Amino acid sequence: MRRVTIFGATGSIGQNTIDLIARRPGAFRVIALTGGRNIALLAEQARQVKAALAVTCHAEFYADLKAALSGSGIAVAAGPAGMAEAAARPADWVMSAIVGAAGLQPGLSALEHGGTLALANKESLVTAGPLLISAASTHGARILPVDSEHSAIFQALVGEDPATVERVVITASGGAFRDWPLEALAKATPQQAAVHPNWAMGQRITIDSASMFNKAMELIEVREFFGIAPDRIEVLVHPESLVHALVGFRDGALMAHLGPPDMRHAIGYALNWPERAELPVARLDLARIGRLNFSAPDPARYPALDLARRVMRSGGLAGAAFNAAKEHALDAFIAGRIGFRQMARVVEHTLDILSDESGLADAAIDLDKILAMDRLARIRAGEAIEKQKVNDLR
Ligand code: NAD
Ligand code: MG
The CA radius of gyration of the chain, in Å to the nearest whole number, is: 21
Tens-digit pLDDT profile for residues 59-78: 999 999 999 999 999 999 99
Q: Whose CA is nearest to atom 22 of ligand 1?
A: 98
Q: Is the CB of 13 under 6 A from ligand 1?
A: yes
Phi, psi dihedrals of residue 248, rounded to the nearest 5°: -100, 135
Q: Is the CB of 121 under 6 A from ligand 1?
A: yes
Q: Whose CA is nearest to atom 20 of ligand 1?
A: 57
Cα(21) to ligand 2 centroid in Å equals: 22
pLDDT tens over the chain, length 394 residues:
999 999 999 999 999 999 999 999 999 999 999 999 999 999 999 999 999 999 999 999 999 999 999 999 999 999 999 999 999 999 999 999 999 999 999 999 999 999 999 999 999 999 999 999 999 999 999 999 999 999 999 999 999 999 999 999 999 999 999 999 999 999 999 999 999 989 899 999 999 999 999 999 999 999 999 999 999 999 999 999 999 999 999 999 999 999 999 999 999 999 999 999 999 999 999 999 999 999 999 999 999 999 999 999 999 999 999 999 999 999 999 999 999 999 999 999 999 999 988 788 877 899 999 999 999 999 999 999 998 766 664 4
Atom of ligand 1 nearest to the CA of 203: 2
Phi, psi dihedrals of residue 51, rounded to the nearest 5°: -65, 150
Tens-digit pLDDT profile for residues 106-164: 999 999 999 999 999 999 999 999 999 999 999 999 999 999 999 999 999 999 999 99
Domains and CATH numbers, the chain: 2-145 (3.40.50.720), 151-260+282-289 (no CATH), 315-392 (1.10.1740.10)
Q: Is the Cβ–Cβ distance between 68 and 41 less than 8 Å?
A: no
The pLDDT value given to residue 391: 66
Pocket test for ligand 1, best of 39, 61, 147, 205 (most atoms within 8 A of CB): 205
Q: What is the 3-state secondary structure (H, E, C) of the chain?
A: CEEEEEECCCCHHHHHHHHHHHCCCCCEEEEEEEECCCHHHHHHHHHHCCCCEEEECCHHHHHHHHHHCCCCCCEEEEHHHHHHHHHHCCCCEEEECCCCHHHHHHHHHHHHCCCEEEECCHHHHHHHHHHHHHHHHHCCCEEEECCHHHHHHHHHCCCCCHHHEEEEEEEECCCCCCCCCHHHHCCCCHHHHCCCCCCCCCHHHHHHHHHCHHHHHHHHHHHHHHCCCHHHEEEEECCCCCEEEEEEECCCCEEEEECCCCCHHHHHHHHHCCCCCCCCCCCCCHHHHCCCCCECCCCCCCCHHHHHHHHHHHCCCHHHHHHHHHHHHHHHHHCCCCCCCHHHHHHHHHHHHHHHHCCCCCCCCCHHHHHHHHHHHHHHHHHHHHCCCCHHHC
Q: Is the CB of 218 under 6 A from ligand 1?
A: no
Atom of ligand 1 nearest to the CA of 217: 34
Tens-digit pLDDT profile for residues 360-392: 887 789 999 999 999 999 999 999 999 876 666
Q: Whose CA is nearest to atom 39 of ligand 1?
A: 201
The pLDDT value given to residue 392: 61
Q: What is the pTM of this model?
A: 0.97
Cα(317) to ligand 1 centroid in Å equals: 23
Q: Whose CA is nearest to atom 40 of ligand 1?
A: 201
Q: Whose CA is nearest to atom 9 of ligand 1?
A: 8
